[in-house]
Amino acid sequence: MNWIRRIKNRLQPIAGGIDQTWSHDGCVGIRGWLIHKKGGISKAAVEVDGAAVPITSWHPRLDIGDTIPGLDDEALKRCGFWVQVPRLARHRISLTGTDGTRPGRIEFEFLAKARPAERTPAIEARGLFNRFIDLVNDDEMHVLEIGSRVVAPGSDSKRALFGHAGSYTGFDYYPDANTDVIGDAHRLSDYFPDRKFDAVFSYSVLEHLAMPWLFPMEVNRVLADGGLTFHHTHFAWPQHEEPWDFWRFTDGGLKVMFSGAMGFEVMSAGMFEPLRMYLDHPADGQEAFPEFPAYGGSVVLARKTSDCAQERGAWDVSVADVCEGSTYPRQV
């Protein structure tokens, strides 16, 4: 374990460590652990240069027990943390120059402030999903979720969100307690040859489809006329559930996928979670890279307006063919 050096004080009733940090002008990210020598921590905070934030979310750090014997096993299950502490970094910058005989120097000191890049307004992704949920519940629609398996730590089934729906059907590549039908979304209509749904949705699924251009056609086939479809996916996000993490999407890409040519009318689409991207090793010509607009993800809400002709999405290739023997991971 590569801990950052810490000041030791054996008289303290708590023990802790910092494993990793990152920072920019407006924030410091800190990963570490904190534990009380006599039991669990009931209240905790992280402070950087006078700015403090509470630690409100904990995760297990059982590895600490191997390094520091005698710690309470239950406390080890909730002693790890990740936090982001806001700050304004202070910079001292000097500019020097000379004509060969007379050197000059100008010094600056200022508080840096993260200046938002000019960008199109971000959509409220959660708000659009809530709109979809309300429409489904209000009209007691029969809803199908693609990717219903509860995979990510701390996530929950979305079945409970549709308490007033006519029915909820969970579909996934692998089985779990929240999945009713197991199968491949690239061939979605094969599993429902005689059934039409009023609504179909997915949440963080499109990026894991090897051939996502087939998906709108399959959704169209299982949707009733006038049916709704909602999809939430990523534009810039760390790789996950590898090796089956294939694609990233702009809202423009989602509009193409659920366009009139595929039998849909887009009701709303956009990008969400504004963010900045930084190159670890800046390249010439890319110095202003963090100033360009970027987002965490994109969403689309669309309505089926017509059936999609099969030849529109023809692609006679199987998942096994394009994935060359790799398998979708069962767990994160």
332 residues of the chain, pLDDT tens digit each: 344 555 555 567 888 889 999 888 888 999 999 988 776 778 899 998 888 999 998 988 888 888 777 777 788 888 899 999 988 888 999 999 999 999 999 999 988 876 655 556 788 888 999 999 999 999 999 999 999 999 877 678 999 999 999 999 999 999 999 999 999 999 999 999 999 999 999 999 999 999 999 999 999 999 999 999 999 999 999 999 889 999 999 999 999 999 998 899 999 999 999 888 888 887 888 888 888 888 999 999 999 999 987 776 676 667 777 676 777 787 65
User: Where do we find the tokens 């000041």?
Assistant: 7
Q: How many CB atoms lie within 10 A of CB 10?
A: 5
Q: pLDDT tens for residues 210-256?
A: 999 999 999 999 999 999 999 999 999 999 988 999 999 999 999 99
pLDDT of residue 6: 53
pTM of the model: 0.81
pLDDT of residue 3: 46
pLDDT of residue 331: 64
Rounded to whole angstroms, the Cα distance separating 179 from 190 reads 17
* Residues paired with 110 in a beta bridge: 91
Going from the N-terminus, what domains does the chain have, and what CATH number goes with each? 14-86 (no CATH), 125-323 (3.40.50.150)
Three-state SS string over 71-87 comes to: CCHHHHCCCEEEEEEEC
Is 299 in contact with 129 (CB distance < 8 Å)? yes
pLDDT of residue 284: 85
Residues 6+ apart with CB under 8 A from 170: 145, 148, 149, 157, 159, 178, 179, 180, 181
Q: pLDDT tens for residues 117-157?
A: 555 678 888 899 999 999 999 999 999 999 999 987 767 89
pLDDT of residue 2: 43
Rounded to whole angstroms, the Cα distance separating 228 from 215 reads 15
